Amino acid sequence: DTAVSQTPKYLVTQMGNDKSIKCEQNLGHDTMYWYKQDSKKFLKIMFSYNNKELIINETVPNRFSPKSPDKAHLNLHINSLELGDSAVYFCASSQGTGLSYNEQFFGPGTRLTVL
Partner 1 sequence: AQKVTQAQTEISVVEKEDVTLDCVYETRDTTYYLFWYKQPPSGELVFLIRRNSFDEQNEISGRYSWNFQKSTSSFNFTITASQVVDSAVYFCALSDSGYSTLTFGKGTMLLVSP
Strands 10-13 and 105-106, by their bridges, are unpaired
* Site membership for partner 1, residue 101 (CB under 8 A): yes
Given 40, 59, 69, 70, the residue binding partner 1 (CB under 8 A): 40
Report in angstroms how near the CB of residue 52 gets to partner 1 at its nearest: 14
Given 55, 61, 80, 84, the residue binding partner 1 (CB under 8 A): 55
Point out which residues pair with 109 in neighbouring strands.
none
Strands 110-114 and 10-13, by their bridges, are parallel
* Site membership for partner 1, residue 103 (CB under 8 A): yes
* Site membership for partner 1, residue 3 (CB under 8 A): no
Peptide bond into 8 cis (omega under 30): yes
Interface residues toward partner 1, by CB under 8 A: 31, 33, 35, 40-45, 48, 50, 55-56, 58, 88, 90, 94, 96-99, 101-106, 108-109, 111
